[in-house]
């Protein structure tokens, strides 16, 4: 079960030091993260921006226990050195404390919106009745009350992304990772999504880490970190504007 004791706004949710990740490319190794230090705080929407191939997704994967770095450590919540845990414990940590939102939605085609969210909650140990109640609330919170019983094929791209967000938020994660969450959406739906991420940080105290190409999303951020070629080249705090508007792509 999820612990409900969130870190306070401003506390560190993640502190990583000296992360190095290399991939083999033919006979050589390419260093994709070059001794990256990174931290993220509860209550912050932290944007990670940088060109294609700069290492953003690799960084998220190393921070969340999905991809083992060759060097460095990740301290997160009450865990010292995540990568020292067994893979079962890392999976459990992720299930209990982390939410994920990806560009491709990652929904199960056969399940209704309600079932997509319920399934994760049942995995976490909620009873079917409790899972149904919590899933319904999470979907209502993202404005999908009229769509609870639709399968992905009957939903628009924006609605699908909102299901994915409801699924990630239903367990009230202390850390929320979003990788290009708006890139497949038009301006109006992109705005709904970024506002939900903003709210997860401000109202639920989650540390929200959002990888994006889209400089327009900076408006909502508390902090903007720029990464280039595996190195953090800039790290600025800013005052978010939760009422900013995102012009449509189209």
Q: Which residues contact ligand ATP (rule: CB under 6 A)? A: 23, 32, 50, 52-58
Q: Where are the beta strands (DSSP E) in the chain?
A: 12-25, 28-41, 45-49, 71-76, 98-102, 175-179, 207-212, 223-228, 231-237
Going by their DSSP bridges, the two strands 71-76 and 12-25 should be labelled as: antiparallel
In angstroms, give the least distance from the CB of 179 to ligand ATP: 7
Instruction: Give the residue with the Cβ less far from ligand ATP, 59 or 207.
Output: 59
Instruction: Give the residue with the Cβ less far from ligand ATP, 23 or 123.
Output: 23
Instruction: Give the residue with the Cβ less far from ligand ATP, 21 or 171.
Output: 21
Instruction: Give the residue with the Cβ less far from ligand ATP, 139 or 193.
Output: 193
> 67 and 59 in contact (C-beta within 8 Å)?
no
Instruction: Give the residue with the Cβ less far from ligand ATP, 61 or 95.
Output: 61
In angstroms, give the least distance from the CB of 230 to ligand ATP: 8
Q: In DSSP terms, which residues pair with 74 in a beta bridge?
A: 16
Instruction: Give the residue with the Cβ less far from ligand ATP, 50 or 65.
Output: 50
* Start-to-end Cα distance in the chain: 42
Exposed / middle / buried, residue 145 (Cβ in 10 Å: 0-12, 13-18, 19+): exposed
In angstroms, give the least distance from the CB of 217 to ligand ATP: 14
Residue 129, CA distances (Å) to 3, 132, 133 in order: 19, 5, 6
In angstroms, give the least distance from the CB of 193 to ligand ATP: 17
In angstroms, give the least distance from the CB of 55 to ligand ATP: 4
In angstroms, give the least distance from the CB of 35 to ligand ATP: 15
- HSE-CB at 91 with a 13 A cutoff on CA atoms is 5
> 19 and 81 in contact (C-beta within 8 Å)?
no
Burial 230-244 (b: 16+ CB within 10 A, else e): bebeeeeeeebeeee
């Amino acid at each position: 079960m999820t612990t409900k004791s969130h870190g306070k706004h401003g506390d560190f949710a993640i502190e990583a030091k000296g992360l190095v990740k290399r991939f083999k490319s033919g006979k050589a190794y390419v260093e994709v993260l070059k001794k990256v230090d990174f931290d993220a705080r509860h209550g912050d929407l932290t944007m990670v921006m940088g060109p294609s191939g700069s290492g953003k997704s690799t960084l998220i994967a190393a921070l969340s226990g999905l991809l083992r770095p060759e060097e460095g450590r990740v301290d997160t919540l009450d865990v010292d050195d995540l990568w020292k845990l067994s893979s079962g414990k890392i999976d459990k940590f992720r299930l209990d404390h982390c939410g994920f939102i990806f560009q491709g939605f990652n929904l199960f085609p056969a399940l209704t919106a309600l079932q997509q969210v319920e399934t994760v909650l049942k995995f976490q140990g909620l009873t079917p009745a409790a899972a149904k109640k919590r899933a319904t609330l999470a979907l209502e919170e993202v404005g999908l009350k009229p769509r609870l019983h639709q399968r992905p094929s009957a939903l628009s791209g924006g609605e699908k992304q909102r299901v994915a967000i409801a699924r990630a938020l239903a367990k009230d994660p202390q850390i929320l990772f979003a990788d290009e969450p708006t890139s497949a959406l038009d301006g109006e739906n992109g705005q709904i999504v970024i506002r939900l991420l903003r709210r997860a940080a401000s109202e639920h105290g989650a540390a929200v880490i959002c990888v994006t190409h889209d400089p327009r999303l900076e408006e909502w951020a508390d902090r903007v970190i720029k990464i280039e070629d595996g190195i953090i080249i800039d790290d600025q705090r800013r005052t978010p504007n939760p009422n900013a508007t995102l012009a449509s792509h189209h």
